[in-house]
Amino acid sequence: MSESKLPVLIVEDDHDLREAIEATLGIAGYPVFSAQDGTEALAMLKNEQVGLVVSDVNMKPMDGFTLLNEINTAFPGIPVVLMTAFGDVEKAVNAMRSGACDYLLKPFEPSSLIEYVEKYQLAVPYDGNSGVIAQDPKIEALLQLARRVAKSSATVMLTGESGTGKEVFARFIHRNSARAEKPFVAINCAAIPENLLEATLFGYEKGAFTGAMQSQAGKFEQAEGGTLLLDEISEMPLGLQAKLLRVLQEREVERVGGRKPIPLDIRVIATSNRDMAEYVARGDFREDLYYRLNVIPLKVPPLREHPADIVPLARYFVSRMDEGRQGMKLSASAEERLKRHAWPGNIRELENVIQRAMVLASGTEIEAGDLLLEGKIEEKSSEKVDDMKSLEKKHIMDVLASVNGSRKLAVQKLGISERTLRYKLQQYRLESGE
């Protein structure tokens, strides 16, 4: 799976079948929750972010059809796949008309189950049908505007501070457009060396330069029919900006070393964390290209300006990053501390804080002290730690030392599996050259 996925909720009253489905999805790399009936499933949905519900039809006291209606009412936007016996196909088809996205006929092959999960499982936080967490009115309004923008093919310029989720909005626009079934191709203009950026964007012909052993399509061609995201467009060199302008004007591209123009049918979305008008005024960005890209400007606000989304986002990151520590959640004090922080690094900072807190948390509940929002380790370590890997390694080794090297006791305290611990220790040995 190329993207992070929200967990799948399995609702099945047959214990053996439920365990078999959990194992199948677990082996395939999908995060899984399970419930033995509809009532338990609804209770779980109130507390957990879920990207897909796979439910049996014949359950008591609440059957799968009733559960489907409850989910559609209370948690709109979560896809539901029903599992049913051959004789109930007609009912399942009727349920699809009521909101189920599909049904699986029992018995089914593991490959069929995985195919359905891959097809329907949400890959990003959701709120209603948006595909983005949006409990704050400011983000809800921005999403409404983005939906209208998505219906056109106009070029969009997304601006905002680093870490605000500009690429998430770009993907949202793509998913809600007529190009949704076509490719979404992203390129970070700041991450590719200047001498390689042109060839990466426009492609090249065999022999165009040293090392060009065969022809290669560029990002523009790869996005044909779909959407091309030019991330951090303000970092593009001035010389290349002129070539980009021509491509946007003519809607065709020439590969490096090529002579034949290739027609394009794509939508372009650009992002920047800079003040683009100021960049243009300083001569660092072409004015004509700026106006070509800035057809529809959308400004993504910093996290401090939509505080109602802080806790929902944090809960989502906890559910996505459990890494074998099932049932992790934020304490009330931790959530209150998150709401009081200014978040200069925006959503990216929040994600990093949650990842760090999950390493430090001694149990299944993240406390306020685990968040380390002031940049220091509160009574958990007196040493300066440079990065998350070092912090994780120190925490694991400290726990091992506290139980005299017993891996069985260590995994209980760490809340991870023995397999994960073995893998981590093997990594540490390789890093140290032992």
Q: What is the pLDDT of residue 129?
A: 42
Which stretch of 117-121, 228-232, 305-309 has the lowest confidence by average pLDDT?
Answer: 117-121
Share of the chain above pLDDT 90, in %: 35
pLDDT above 80 (res 186): yes
- Which comes out higher in pLDDT, residue 336 or 190? 336
Q: What is the dihedral of CA 142, 147, 151, 154, to 10 degrees?
A: 20
Share of the chain above pLDDT 70, in %: 84
Label residue 1 by pLDDT band (50, 70, 90): very low
Q: Kindly list the structural domains of the chain, giving each domain's residue range(s) and its CATH number in brackets, ordered by start.
A: 8-120 (3.40.50.2300), 137-301 (3.40.50.300), 306-432 (1.10.8.60)
Q: What is the pLDDT of residue 150?
A: 92
Label residue 383 by pLDDT band (50, 70, 90): very low
Q: What is the pLDDT of residue 434?
A: 52
Label residue 131 by pLDDT band (50, 70, 90): low
Q: What mean pLDDT is predicted for residues 215-228?
A: 91
Region of 81 on the Ramachandran plot (φ > 0 left; ψ -120 to 50 alpha; else beta) = beta
pLDDT above 80 (res 253): yes
pLDDT above 80 (res 89): no
Residue 73 DSSP SS3: helix
β-bridge partners, 217 = 203
Which stretch of 141-155, 291-305, 394-408 has the lowest confidence by average pLDDT?
Answer: 394-408
Measured at the CA of 52, the angle between CA 46 and CA 53, to 5 degrees, comes to 70
- Which comes out higher in pLDDT, residue 28 or 12? 12
Q: Give phi and psi for 62, each to the nearest 5.
A: -110, 120
- The burial class, CB within 10 Å (0-12 / 13-18 / 19+), for 15 is exposed
- Which comes out higher in pLDDT, residue 287 or 75? 287
- Which comes out higher in pLDDT, residue 265 or 212? 265
Alpha carbon distances (Å) from 30 to 21, 24, 33, 319, 324: 11, 9, 10, 12, 12
Q: What is the pLDDT of residue 303?
A: 94
Which stretch of 131-140, 337-346, 349-358 has the lowest confidence by average pLDDT?
Answer: 131-140
Label residue 299 by pLDDT band (50, 70, 90): very high
**Lookup: tokens for 335:** 């959530």
- pTM for the full predicted model: 0.59
Q: What is the pLDDT of residue 87?
A: 65
pLDDT above 70 (res 301): yes
Cα–Cα dist 245/71, whole Å: 48
Q: What is the pLDDT of residue 125?
A: 47
